[in-house]
Structure 1
């Protein structure tokens, strides 16, 4: 019979929590950063939108920012699946 695993509760600061979550899912902060970069680009390009109405411009910007975030998370999921599949094959050998 194996010993039960004992975990102790420790207070965790916001910085420590962010660091731990980033190590667990490294593509999430990248996706948030990509979304933020798209929003900053959109804010910069807002003056140069030409005759396009602001609502159409903002709708296109929102779709683009969300698309970048989803694409980044999808790449991260594919990378994680790839690692898990080959890690299982290495463990089987």
Structure 2
């Protein structure tokens, strides 16, 4: 069965995650960085001082999203380098 023959209903969550990880390797890294940011924020929750809980959680959400977007941006920059600049260097030799 080829990849085109797999219907959405037949694909399990783990199969889909595996397929997406092979198509875009930075995706699981971004999820891991987001999870790490949330875990660190949950650990540091007791040391938030006089900051209200809602403000702390908003800042934590922004930090987690920033970590995920940063990982995806680095992956995109690497892919662009690999596809365009590195290929041009090989063809100019």
CA–CA separation in structure 2 for the residues paired with 1:7 and 1:61: 38
CA–CA separation in structure 2 for the residues paired with 1:19 and 1:8: 15
Give the unaligned 5+ runs of structure 2.
Answer: none
Partner of 1:87: 87
Deviations 1:6-61 (A, max 9, x none): 97624544333322211110001100110011111111111111111111111111
Partner of 1:55: 54
Q: TM-score, normalised by structure 1?
A: 0.79
Q: Is the helix fraction higher in 1 or 2? A: 2
Question: Quick check: 1:37 aligned with 2:36?
Answer: yes
CA–CA separation in structure 1 for the residues paired with 2:58 and 2:4: 47
Distance 1:29 1:7, change over 3 A: closer
CA–CA separation in structure 2 for the residues paired with 1:20 and 1:88: 30
Aligned-residue Cα RMSD (Å) equals 2.3
Larger mean CA deviation between 9-18 and 23-32 belongs to 9-18
**In the comparison of the two structures, how many residue pairs are matched?**
88
